Structure 1
Amino acid sequence: MIGLPPFFPTLTDYHQCIKTIEGAVKQFSVAELELLNQTFQQAGTAVLTQEQYKETDHGHILHSLPPFTVRPLEQSTPPVPLVEPEDGMGRLQCLRGIRVIELCRVIAGPTIGRSLAAHGASVLKVTSPQLPDVPFFQVDVNAGKHTTSLHLKDPADRATFDTLLETADVILDGYRPSVISRLGYSPEALAAKAALRGRGIVYVTEDCFGGSGVPGAAWADRAGWQQIADCVTGVAWEQGKFMGLDEPVVPPFPMSDYGTGSLGTIVALAGIYRRAIQGGSWICRTSLSQYNLFLLSLGPYPAEVQDELRRSHNAEFFALRHSDSVDEVGKRALRSIRKLHPKLFADNLMQSAHSAGFRGVVRWPKEALEIQGLRIGHVRATRPNGYDTPTWEGWEEDRMLLGS
């Protein structure tokens, strides 16, 4: 799109990589890049301040929305009470018996599935063998799930998927608003099928720009991910300002990814609860941009807290600039956090299990949430995408995990 070769095997120096890419980007104006993004259907955006974003039509609309919404799709189906969540060992998990199909990749959407699995739901992550994902992130976000591979443009795979849908309770959709709908699985279509079977469905959507279905939200269908949401809503400018720079910097770690995953979990639980009490099918929406606006609405830390953070963290972190990669930003921040807060990585906060899919022992944090009378945690180790057969039957459980 910007005139660089798709492969450049001799370009291995980090700073030379930045210089090469930045030099190519600077040949275009912001308006030209935006037009190219639309033409090539690429994910990208201008980096805006909070004020600039709010002045756009889309930003104005997003500021009028809450962080998430829950609305009925149909109200003809009866309530579906939650089953007694006894697992046979005196341990209660509130979502046992709930079946979740996860149509998501990377972090934010899969975090919703990961969290629902920690509450006892059977979460089946469905990804296409023709679409890329990041193996590193799968180690974390696939905890507690089964994962399978289906290509929904293949008739045989569609038939298998339709069979899975017959008894599904929740659909998690982490793609752009039109993608799954074009395949014939829109929220409205699935709600109509749910009405025919007499058991409602909860459809949870998570995307980058937000505003799907809201008149005037012109960017709702644009592709994007965490860093793009951070740039368009003003978060990146706030990060740069904190670092003493007059330029934006991509924030360390996928904060809005995991934050949106947390919002998505809340909205999914709200939909499941309303189906249990009121009946019907429900559409639940959130987005990376809505999470960022919620985060920004909390305001910055007091000046003395910011000063202490700047004094205590490694100077190498504050040497970062707008052009540094996400990996470099995260790596430097993690080194500083490990040095200042080693207790965050202590053994008593972690658990481990052997993962046959990843062929080794995986160590990950215990769930941070506690609810009196309930157990929260995963009953199976993580695995890579596409590891399991596409079925609800015969799922294995490591019963030691909830007691660890």
Structure 2
Amino acid sequence: MPVQSASWSVPAKAREYLVKLCQDQRLSLPETIKHRALERVKYVGSDKPFIPISWQFGEAVSALHGLEAAFALALKEERYGQVEDPSKQLETVTIDTDHASLFIISVFISQIKGKPVMHPDNLVAARKYDLADSILNLYRHLCTNIYRTKDDRYYHLHGSMDASPSQDVVGVPHFSDEKDPDKIKKVYADAVAKFDAEELDRLAAMDAKQAGTICFTHQEFLESEAGKAIKDCPIYELSKLGPGQPVPWPRSNSKDSFRPLEGLKVVELTRVIAAPAIGRKLAEYGAQVIRITCDRLPDYGALLVDLGLGKLQANLDLKTEEGKLALRKLLDDADVFLDGYRPGAIEKLGFGPKDFEEMGAKRGKGYVVLRENCFGWHGPWKHRSGWQQISDCFVGISWGFGQRMGVNEPVVPVFPNSDFCVGTIGATGVLHALQRRAQEGGTYLVNVSLSYYNVWLASLGMYPEEVWVQLWSDYERFQFKHSDEMRKTLSTLIPKMFENRPDLKAREDVWMQTKSEPWGGTVTHLRPVCRFSDRSMYFDVPPRPNGFDPPKW
């Protein structure tokens, strides 16, 4: 059996990729940020990777946390000052790459009263959000999967949170009493096999406006019109929408202020993982975050325990004038607005970038507006909706993973890595924009995308063969196929991961507990990844269900 390369080290690679981020001129990073990243962000952790994916998930998420930490450190010092005494060392930030690697699966490893959030006892509360019965109903859930097309290509069909439109496209019944997952998948496989890939993409993604994509190799992605439009984009795009006066940092009422975003207010219109992870990050740094949902829209309830940390949760119906008025009242005092819905959906309701430019000019205080999507903000597919799996298949991440396992077909690489990495990227972009707003004024737009991240991940390459073979061997050289959906792959690999690394379960520096009566007791979740040398960041608000709070600060 080949041995692991003696020169491979996850912390060392994370630092190498952080250096590359600092050298990326497209990000227009201030020199002070580069200096903090390179001189005051430290990496520790196990040299050997333990996330069983051929792409460098642990190294990538750790590098991104390094850039996030540099901005957080800068804003912290701009607000509260830094050590002036030359006898004292400047504050540093430490990132444990083992801890950071767990961040990409935090929604699946959080617990309520000692049981995983996905335990049947805990899913009872989540059922009320599954309004279209498409998440917990196995038959409708398996509409979301990769299936082979008539022309021997592969298509990732997606049922989102209401499978019916995608089921209509391929011509299968909305409901079935069948419980056998293999028999259910055959229903969808037989239906998809009647279509050529290009035809199915037109019907599902273009005409029916459902999430979905042909599964491309990375080279096919680079050669596609949609790929060419975004292949040279940075991990986030930051632009100034309009002028304005510099915005001073708010005064905090707390005598123990030290978090960089204390006193700032964030309005979050998001669902699922990527965009909510951005709000969770901003709450960690002290921002007051209120997430707005609507009780007539379905949601992924099991995710709320982890991604609701630090947030107020309120309901508003933005299809009504009363709802829009209430949102505008919240925005009067807000600093940041997060939009994670289908591109253009929130803008049509009167809350697009130009609207914020006008509102910022009118009140004399600019906003930071962040938009998150799947396919990027350029090219023919910028308007399409999508999920983590869709971006993974679009950019070629899934094909690369499948080929590395020895199967000549695409396999979604198990963990919601692109979702959580976009959470870190989005928080970094917001910190960057807030710094500019404080220094020069104006309203700013931050664009992030699952596919921007995946393009960057692909640029790092997969593990060298000897590193991958050793890692793969630790998991008994599992071999998934295109039809193995995430429920199966997650339930196979997560228990094995903790079996291989039992130390990760017991580390008090990695885990913390929060009382959450709305969720039925004590919630166990990951601590913030970035560890500042003076004090750790934390969450002010325990997780709570949608609509728990009134829509006010």
Task: Please give the range of the TM-score, normalised by the shorter of the 2 chains.
Answer: over 0.9
Counterpart residue number, 2:36: none
CA distance in 2 between counterparts of 1:175 and 1:339 reads: 37
**Distance in 1 between residues matched to 2:544 and 2:463, nearest whole Å:** 38
Q: Is residue 179 of structure 2 the alignment partner of residue 12 of structure 1?
A: yes
Q: Which of 521, 538, 543 is the aligned partner of 1:382?
A: 543
Of residues 184-193 and 105-114 in structure 1, the stretch that sits farther from structure 2 once superposed is 184-193
Confirm or deny that 1:155 pairs with 2:321: yes
Cα shift readout 1:172-203 (whole Å, capped 9, x = no counterpart): 01112211111111111111111110000000
Structure 1 distance, partners of 2:530, 2:459, is 24
Structure 1 residue 130: Cα displacement:
2.1
Q: Does 1:80 pair with 2:247?
A: yes
Contact 2:343–2:385, Cα closer than 8 Å, also in 1: no
Superposed displacement of residue 91, structure 1: 4.7
State the Cα distance separating 1:347 from its structure 2 match: 4.5
Greater shift in the superposed pair: 258-267 or 78-87 = 78-87
Confirm or deny: 8 A CA contact 1:108 1:258 kept in the other structure: yes
Given the alignment of the two structures, is residue 325 of structure 1 paired with residue 485 of structure 2, yes or no?
yes
Q: How does 1:189-338 map to 2 (within 5 A)?
A: 189-211=355-377, 214=378, 217-315=379-477, 318-338=478-498
Check the 8 A contact 1:209/1:289 in 2, yes or no.
yes
What is the aligned partner in structure 2 of residue 122 from structure 1? 288
Instruction: Supply the AA of the counterpart residue of 1:346.
Output: A
* CA distance in structure 1 between the aligned counterparts of 2:267 and 2:405, rounded to whole angstroms: 41
| Cα separation, 1, equivalents of 2:284 and 2:419 | 18
Corresponding letter in the other structure for 1:276: A
Does the 8 Å CA contact 1:148/1:387 hold for their aligned counterparts? yes
Deviation at 1:373?
4.2
The separation in 2 between residues aligned to 1:339 and 1:102, in whole angstroms, is 37
TM-score, normalised on structure 1? 0.92
Are 2:517 and 1:351 aligned? no
1:115 corresponds to which letter in structure 2? Answer: K
Q: Judge conservation of contact 1:70–1:282 (CA < 8 Å) in 2.
A: yes
- Alpha-carbon displacement from aligned partner over 1:196-253 (angstroms, at most 9, x marks no partner): 1000000011100002xx4xx0000001110000001000001102211111101111
Quote the residue 1:402 is aligned against.
none
| 1:368 has 2:529 as partner | yes
Measure the CA separation in 2 of the matches of 1:291 and 1:87. 37
Check if 1:145 corresponds to 2:307: no
- Give the share of equivalent positions with the same residue, in percent: 36
Deviation at 1:343, TM superposition (A): 2.2
The answer to whether the aligner puts 1:63 opposite 2:231 as a matched pair is yes
Alignment partners' CA distance in 2, 1:164 and 1:347: 40
- Offset of residue 161 of structure 1: 0.9
Matches within 5 A, 1:182-193: 182-193=348-359
**Structure 2 letter corresponding to 1:296:** A
Question: How far has the Cα of 1:87 moved from its partner?
Answer: 2.8
Equivalent residues of 1:170, 1:202 under 8 A apart: yes
Q: Give the Cα–Cα distance (whole angstroms) in 1 for the partners of residues 405 and 470 of structure 2.
A: 12
Contact in 2 for aligned 1:169/1:201 (Cα 8 Å): yes
Deviations 1:320-344 (A, max 9, x none): 2110111111111101111111222
CA contact (8 A) 1:314 1:336 kept: no
User: 1-side partners of 2:495 and 2:476: how far apart?
Assistant: 8
In structure 1, how many angstroms separate the alpha carbons of the residues matched to 2:249 and 2:531?
Answer: 20
Aligned 1:39-54 pairs, distance under 5 A: 39-54=207-222
For 1:181, which of 347, 360, 370 is the aligned residue?
A: 347
SS in 2 for 1:54: helix
Q: Please give the secondary structure, in 2, of the residue aligned with 1:357.
A: helix
The code of the aligned residue for 1:340 comes to: N
Deviation at 1:2, TM superposition (A): 0.9
Q: CA RMSD in A?
A: 1.3
Kept in 1, the 8 Å contact 2:268–2:279? The answer is yes
Shift of 1:123: 0.5
SS of corresponding position for 2:188: helix
1:101 to 264, 267, 281: 267
Name the CA distance, whole Å, in 1 between partners of 2:447 and 2:190. Answer: 39
Whether the aligned pair in 2 keeps the contact of 1:85 and 1:92 (CA below 8 Å) is no
Partner Cα distance (2:252, 2:532) in 1: 14
Segment drifting more, 31-40 vs 231-240: 31-40
Aligned length: 383
Q: Give the counterpart letter for 2:182 in structure 1.
A: H
Q: CA deviation at 1:143?
A: 0.4
Aligned partner of 2:201 in structure 1 is: 34
DSSP-derived class of the 1:322 partner: coil
Partner of 2:94: none
SS of residue paired to 1:352: strand
SS of 2:213's equivalent in the other structure is: coil
Q: Contact conserved, 2:356 with 2:443, CA < 8 A, in 1?
A: no
* Cα contact 1:92–1:373 (8 A) shared by 2: no
Give secondary structure in 2 for the equivalent of 1:370.
strand
1:170 is aligned, of 316, 328, 336, to 336
* Alignment partner, residue 398 of structure 1: none
Match of 1:66, SS state, is: coil
Tell whether the 8 Å contact from 1:86 to 1:92 is kept in structure 2 after alignment: no
